[in-house]
Amino acid sequence: MPSNSPCVFKYNNFLKKILSHSFASLSYIVFICTVFVVGGQCHAKPESAASILIIESDGTAQKFVVELAVSRSQKSIGLMYRRSLPQKNGMLFVYKTRSKISMWMKNTYLALDMLFIDTKGRINYIHERAVPLSEKLITGKFPARAVLELNAGIVSRFGFKVGDLVRHSIFGNE
């Protein structure tokens, strides 16, 4: 059959369509797998073991389950990409030395309350209802050793305030 015959032309176009659709489909499948494997495991699910943290305020104690963000990688990801967080859960960002800590809400879909905590476990600054996805820096007013992120509204719900005690093993006061 000559190469310019209508049958060869149709066959070549058919092959091109199949290959382009197959490649596009394969690319799509690889992309979806990457999102579920890398995105799901690295960004959306807890990476560290949970521990218990207690906040004492006005004679009452509230218990929370927190994930620790200790490594640079854990701190850089934090609660990014998550779409939900149980009401009495949070994340505790732990720093080796006390310093003025800045946080942000980039890629964070949850509104959060942030409690900045000194070396003895005392809350020294509170930022309520941080705006999801904002890249504006949220900086504590005083040097802190840790920052606790909780669902927005928890601070007002339980009446937490500057000076309240946070009990956790990182402060040596549990």
For residue 49, what pLDDT is reported? 76
| pLDDT band for position 96 (cuts 50, 70, 90) | very high
How is the beta sheet containing 60-69 ordered, strand by strand? 123-130, 112-117, 144-151, 89-99, 60-69, 50-57, 165-167
**What are the CA-CA distances from residue 82 to residues 45, 48, 66, 169 (Å)?**
8, 15, 15, 26
For residue 174, what pLDDT is reported? 85
pTM score = 0.74
What fold is seen in the domain 50-171?
A: Jelly Rolls (2.60.120)
* pLDDT at position 72 over 90: yes
* pLDDT at position 143 over 60: yes
* pLDDT at position 153 over 90: yes
| Percent above pLDDT 90 for the chain | 71
For residue 172, what pLDDT is reported? 93
For residue 127, what pLDDT is reported? 98
Q: How many helices (H) and strands (E) does the chain have?
A: 3, 9
Q: Kindly state the average pLDDT of the residues 88-103.
A: 97
